[in-house]
Chain A
């Protein structure tokens, strides 16, 4: 392959912890071996992007934010076989290696190499394809989709069909895989009662995942009223709103029994304990939200043996993108997976800082950056 030059592109850059992200011109190298370059068409803004900015998710700075998106492959490096220029793809953030202990044991979302790269901010060759003001620029977990273009490992992209709109497709990168996946891989059985604590972009997807898994009753809890309304649209049957204690409200709704499966989708230690406590005897609580890595959770120890409770967690919904994104796409095509209601506000890349602010302020379910002139 000819050694093409770097390109200057615009990207949403977090320069240091606690500093407001800004849109900057950065340099992007052409794809190396095993890498592909994607021209983004849409990119979702996730709470995790904000957690990277504040340092709650410790990752190296400076970095290009964004870890879900959709776009067109416009160049591939040596050895790339699964995609070709012109392909429509979803970009996701756990490019598994296929060879480590976790990949070989069916948990590619925990891939050691993908995790290493997320924490170090570097690719398989120890470097990053991005630079800014002459210094290396990292990217959010191999992705960096809040940018005009991204160079990512082949395993970070999955091909999609021509009928799936860009904005909807972008959500498959993180929010939908994480939320729906958590529900589909939980012990929910047809007819179950489920509680979902926290109805943000991920929680709303847990709600529809629970519906797809056959839950008969889905109790959504969030103090923000419009999020509750959206949850009803996604399949929630009951709501717990502001001013209500989630634990006592859910117990009241279930004759004191509690729910078969409870989900926490915020990353709040108090809500995590509440999720464990609303699970019935023999029930399961699934932690989906991401707390600060220094935080600790306190629950009643006696409840494990005496109530046979299960406390478990879910990362990227336990998804394997190459397997699950086509399945999610099929569910969408069948009318079972709703994507459009999650999309309320579009932003140009130049307004990406505002998109983050609107997400934080609880004004949008999922803010999406689009590139309308493409």
Chain B
């Protein structure tokens, strides 16, 4: 059984996390250094969420475009909903995940280096968020990154 039973559940939970938490972190501003939209393509369930940078001065540095509605992305990350769920817990080493094809990337990966080292500050927010929306049942036990 996938963690997110259907696309609606993924948009609701993961989309909700991006929308209400990630967008308002200090680290989110690094998307301007990444230099373009970041598209997450999910399988099982099928879904697409794009982080679309918006000009500075707005409340949050990027907005979400769901279901293929966004502009053409600079970077694309394809993964299953379960892999994404694990990733946002901080439980996945991206270098290993790429090598094992759990995550497939397209575009200039080096651009993501502006953001990736700073995600350590965001990962703890995911479990918090799941608890806050009454989905503490989805919180994964802590585990090593498995370098």
Contact = CB atoms under 8 A, between A and B. Distances in A.
* A, B: real partners: yes
Interface string A46-80: 00000000111111110000000000000000000
A294 B105 contact: yes
B78 to A, nearest CB: 11
B140 interface: no
Given A58-B113, A112-B147, A120-B117, A17 B108 contact: yes
A60 B105 contact: no
A202 to B, nearest CB: 21
Interface in A91-144: 112, 115-116, 119-120
A55 B108 contact: yes
A57 B95 CA distance: 11
A372 interface: no
Contacts of B101: 296
Contacts of A305: none
B147 A294 contact: no
A55 B110 contact: yes
Contacts of A115: 95, 147
Contact of B113 (A60, A292, A294): A60
A82 interface: no
Nearest to B147: A112
Interface in B96-121: 98-99, 101, 104-113, 117
Contact of A119 (B95, B99, B105, B108): B95
A293 interface: yes
A294 B107 contact: yes
Range, interface on chain B: 10 to 19
A55 B111 contact: yes
Nearest to A113: B147
Nearest to A122: B117
A294 B106 contact: yes
Nearest to B98: A293
Nearest to B99: A293
A59 B113 contact: yes
Contacts of A58: 109-110, 112-113
A116 to B, nearest CB: 7
Nearest to A112: B147
B105 A293 contact: yes
A116 B108 contact: no
Contacts of B147: 112, 115-116
A294 B111 contact: no
Given A55-B108, A55-B111, A294 B117 contact: no
A17 B98 contact: no
A243 B14 CA distance: 52
A235 B110 CA distance: 38
B110 A56 contact: yes
A17 B104 CA distance: 21
A57 B113 CA distance: 11
A293 B109 contact: yes
Given A17-B110, A293-B105, A296-B101, 20 more contacts: A17-B108, A17-B111, A54-B110, A55-B108, A55-B109, A55-B110, A56-B110, A57-B110, A59-B110, A60-B113, A61-B113, A115-B147, A116-B147, A119-B95, A293-B95, A293-B98, A294-B105, A294-B107, A294-B109, A296-B104
25 contacts: A17-B108, A55-B108, A55-B109, A55-B110, A55-B111, A55-B113, A56-B110, A58-B109, A58-B112, A59-B113, A61-B113, A112-B147, A115-B147, A116-B147, A119-B95, A292-B109, A293-B95, A293-B98, A293-B99, A293-B105, A294-B98, A294-B105, A294-B106, A296-B101, A296-B104
Q: Please name the 4 residue pairs, one residue from A and one from B, whose CB atoms are nearest each other, closest first.
A: A55-B110, A294-B105, A58-B110, A112-B147
Interface of B: 95, 98-99, 101, 104-113, 117, 147
